[in-house]
């Protein structure tokens, strides 16, 4: 599943292409995504101008000219493809998983503009498109989610208050979207490595220093990933044919059995399943 950095890269690409463009036509080939696409969706989007594309957590938000919104979540396997009518490129994928080319199957939604079209592909159909009528409804849509790591509210006071009387591990906490929004399995492992915290450590045992490290390193790791174009952990290439580069900086993720990259550490990277998720960490400097 794309995490915050990957969705942010998609947002940047999409915003650059569709901002101030008018939707000419919408074609729905399959309404049965995680949230069924309503039959008014075509009428809702057609003839609207895109003001901008923003993001919260792992959600893309298309701002429309009538002050309404279209919310997009890519789910497990959703990808957005751009087909230019005049300058046909080999690489169409604006997302980070599966083929960089437009697949032949599972192209569920097509949004047509003057000179190009956007196609949403999703084999597993866990993603969705959702109509949001106004700013209040948009705010309420995210009320169950915690702040993003970049938000000033994600601080030590918030951290300590949230974990009070809870017994889960720090790895489980970091991927809990009610605690902090946007961190998934990949970046949780990388954040905890940088913080020298064992992913299996109970949150009630965390010191103030460790909490502060996790807060600051959450920002650092995600920002670094965004700057490097996200993580291409399969065969993703963007529309220019260039891959995200953060996977080349992985310290622990998918490095099971390899030597720790930390200077003067003689440890090995181990893999452990915590709450049905593969977790990677150093057996020495994260003990």
Show which residues are catalytic.
2-3, 58, 277
Helix (H) / strand (E) containing 3: none
Smallest CA-to-CA distance from 21 within 113, 116, 85 is with 113
Q: How many residues does the chain have?
A: 287
Cα distances from 27 to residues 24, 30, 71, 78, 112, in angstroms, run: 10, 9, 17, 17, 8
What own/partner pairs with CB < 8 Å and gap ≥ 24 does 172-178 have? 172/274, 172/275, 173/203, 174/214, 174/218, 175/277, 176/146, 177/57, 177/145, 177/146, 178/144, 178/145, 178/146
Residue 268 · residue 257 · CB < 8 Å: yes
d(CA 140, CA 134): 10
Smallest CA-to-CA distance from 156 within 229, 90, 213, 85 is with 213
Cα distances from 259 to residues 92, 194, 198, 215, 221, in angstroms, run: 37, 15, 17, 26, 20
d(CA 94, CA 99): 11
């Amino acid at each position: 599943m794309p995490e915050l950095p990957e969705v942010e890269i998609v947002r940047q690409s999409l915003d650059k292409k569709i901002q101030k463009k008018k939707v000419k036509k919408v074609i729905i080939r399959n309404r049965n995504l995680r949230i069924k696409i309503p039959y008014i969706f075509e009428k809702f989007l057609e003839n609207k101008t895109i003001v901008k594309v923003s993001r919260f957590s792992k959600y893309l938000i298309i701002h429309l000219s009538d002050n309404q919104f279209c919310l997009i979540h890519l789910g497990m396997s959703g990808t957005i493809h751009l087909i230019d009518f005049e300058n046909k490129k080999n690489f169409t994928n604006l997302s980070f998983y599966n083929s960089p080319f437009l697949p032949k199957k599972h192209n569920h939604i097509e949004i047509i503009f003057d000179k190009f079209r956007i196609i949403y592909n999703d084999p597993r159909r866990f993603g969705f498109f959702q109509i949001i009528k106004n700013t209040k409804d948009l705010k309420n849509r995210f009320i169950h989610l915690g702040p993003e790591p970049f938000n000033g509210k994600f601080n030590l006071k918030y951290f300590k208050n949230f974990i009070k009387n809870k017994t889960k591990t720090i790895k489980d906490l970091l991927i809990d979207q009610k605690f902090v929004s946007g961190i998934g399995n990949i970046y949780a492992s990388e954040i905890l490595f940088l913080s020298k915290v064992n992913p299996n450590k109970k949150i009630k045992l965390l010191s103030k220093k460790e909490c502060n490290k996790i807060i600051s390193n959450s920002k650092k790791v995600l920002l670094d990933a965004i700057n490097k174009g996200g993580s291409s952990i399969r065969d993703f290439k963007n529309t220019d044919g260039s891959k995200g580069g953060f996977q080349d900086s992985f310290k622990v993720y998918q490095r099971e059995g390899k030597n720790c990259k930390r200077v003067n550490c003689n440890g090995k990277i181990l893999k452990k399943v915590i709450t049905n998720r593969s977790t990677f960490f150093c057996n020495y400097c994260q003990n």
